[in-house]
Structure 1
Amino acid sequence: MKAPAFDYVSVDSVSEAIAMRAAHGEDAIYLAGGHSVVPSLTLRLQAPSILIDISKIAELSGVELIDGWLRIGAMTRHVEVLKHPLIAKHAPLLAAAAPYVAHPAIRNRGTIGGSVALADPASEFPAMMLAIRAELEVVGPEGVRRIAADDFFQDIYETAMAPGEILRSILVPPLKEGTVFAFDELARRRGDYALVGAGLQLVVKEGVVKAADIALFSVGHTPTRARNAQAAVMGKQLDADAIAAAQSALSDDLDLSDEPQMPASIKLHLARVLLGRLLGKLGELT
């Protein structure tokens, strides 16, 4: 199949993009890296009258520290997330997840903002927004607002962004002393969508967990915070009993259903195995 005919315009500022979107309404689509938009056009899942290319907007780019928070521009490529020294230092969980995102050709072009805004529940970066407690800065006709990651992802491919809004940047809070992290996923082949994946960021002091963020992907309609698993390790050492309690708690965190190629019971088993491995790894570090 081929995409239906559409117009194309490249803009140089967010205000110009928003004005162009307002002029064309719902028939306009923003274009950034293109790795989700272009396939959807080819399959005719979308049929816009115009594509508004926002990839050259300077304010959507850049990685910098502002008042202790790490600001990652939405147009930051996956490969930059993998290699940027500020991200490695201040958001190491993102750097750990980046090598698992698809394949090198896609990482060279795809953007972290595009991944987060698409809100694919099987993608790595949306779930990592939960694990690092990021805030998403969006701008639209009504101005700028910040949305906590826990409030951002609402359903499959649905976010709290209003029509016409643009994700401008990802804001990462400062790491606390004693922060440890781990990421991994289970997939049939490296680069395939994960059967299940998880990212953990804990604060451990004197061997005891003082804060816990555990996020999973490919386990439902949205990236998922494992609140019960988090509670199971809070105030405890990461020993076998605490890890087993967290694994058991996943049954209350995940709302799984049978899939054509994966029964819910197997998906839950894989999630428990993966969580156990990651907590065990962090237990060895602390």
Structure 2
Amino acid sequence: MKAAAFAYARATSVVNALELLAAHGDKAKVLSGGQSLMPAMNLRLLSPDIVVDIGGLAELRGFAVKGDVLVIGALTRHVDLLGSPEVALHAPLLRDAVAHVAHPAIRNRGTIGGSLAHADPASELPACVVALDATIIVRGPAGERRIAATRFFKGIYETALSPDELLVAVEVPVAGQGSTFFFQEYARRHGDYAIVGLAARAVVAGGRFTDFRLGFFAVGDRPLLATAADKLINASVTAVLLAEAATALADELDPQEDQQASPAMRRHLAAVLLRRCVAALLARPELEAGATR
């Protein structure tokens, strides 16, 4: 299939892009990398009147460390996250996650801002920014808004962005002393949509978690910051306590049934990932007992 007829405008600046969005409202769609938008348009799942191409806006691309945050421009491509020394040092969870995103051709075009704005609940990067306690920076006619990642995702393909706003950057707290990370997902094949995935950030001291954030994806209509992690903070983690956390996690999840997995299977795999994550971050392999490989 091919997309329905649409007008095309190539924005010359962020201000120009915002003017175009203000003029056309929800009848406009923003084109950054295009790896989600164009297939949806070709399948007639989306039929915008106009596509606003922001791909040429160099001001929305790149990295900068400002104080205790790493600022990533919205047009920074997945491949740039993979190769960035700043990301490797300050936010290695993003590097680890992007390696699972689709295939090289997609990673060479797809952007972090496009992935977040698309808000696919099976996508890796939304879960990462939730786990990292990131802040999403958006700009609109009224100026700039800062939105916590935990409040940005509202449902399947739904975010806190207004039709006349543009996602311009992501701020990620830099990794501090004792910070450690975990990323893993289950998929039919590498590069396929995840069946269940987990992006986690922790601070470990004296063999205990002093901070622990679990960002699950493909288990509901948006990335989930699991409160089950709270049971494991400032506690001596035992197999019994970990089992209690896994039970609490299952109660939090709201997975859907589809051609890939049943809700029961997704709950089981999420518990497997929880055990595997805790065992890896605490360097206690005995806690992984019972996890499916």
TM-score band, normalised by shorter chain: over 0.9
Q: What TM-score do the two structures reach when normalised by structure 2?
A: 0.93
Between 1:29-38 and 1:254-263, the stretch displaced more is 254-263
- Per the TM alignment, residue 93 of structure 1 is displaced from its structure 2 partner at its CA by 0.7
Cα separation, 2, equivalents of 1:203 and 1:267? 27
Deviations 1:72-109, CA, capped at 9 Å, x for gaps: 00101111111100011111111111100011110011
Equivalent residue number for residue 291 of structure 2 = none
Q: Is the 8 A contact 1:219 1:256 kept in 2?
A: yes
Once the two structures are superposed, the pairs formed by residues 84-163 of structure 1 within 5 Å of their partners are 84-163=84-163
- Per the TM alignment, residue 112 of structure 1 is displaced from its structure 2 partner at its CA by 0.8
Q: Is the 8 A contact 1:131 1:213 kept in 2?
A: yes
Q: What TM-score do the two structures reach when normalised by structure 1?
A: 0.95
- Per the TM alignment, residue 239 of structure 1 is displaced from its structure 2 partner at its CA by 4.2
> Is the alpha carbon distance of 1:40 and 1:258 closer, same or farther for their aligned partners in structure 2, counting shifts above 3 Å?
closer
Q: Is the 8 A contact 1:239 1:283 kept in 2?
A: no
Equivalent residue number for residue 36 of structure 2 = 36
Once the two structures are superposed, the pairs formed by residues 198-209 of structure 1 within 5 Å of their partners are 198-209=198-209
- Per the TM alignment, residue 259 of structure 1 is displaced from its structure 2 partner at its CA by 3.5
Equivalent residue number for residue 239 of structure 2 = 240
Between 1:36-45 and 1:244-253, the stretch displaced more is 244-253
Deviations 1:216-243, CA, capped at 9 Å, x for gaps: 000000011111x211211124443343
SS in 1 for 2:220: coil
- Structure 1: which 5+ runs fail to align? none
Cα separation, 2, equivalents of 1:98 and 1:285? 26
> Is the alpha carbon distance of 1:55 and 1:285 closer, same or farther for their aligned partners in structure 2, counting shifts above 3 Å?
farther
Equivalent residue number for residue 224 of structure 2 = 224
Between 1:236-245 and 1:39-48, the stretch displaced more is 236-245
Matched, 1:263 2:259: no
- Per the TM alignment, residue 267 of structure 1 is displaced from its structure 2 partner at its CA by 1.1
Equivalent residue number for residue 288 of structure 2 = none
Cα separation, 2, equivalents of 1:87 and 1:238? 30
Equivalent residue number for residue 187 of structure 2 = 187
- Structure 2: which 5+ runs fail to align? 286-293
- Per the TM alignment, residue 66 of structure 1 is displaced from its structure 2 partner at its CA by 1.0
Q: How many residues align?
A: 285
Cα separation, 1, equivalents of 2:198 and 2:39? 27
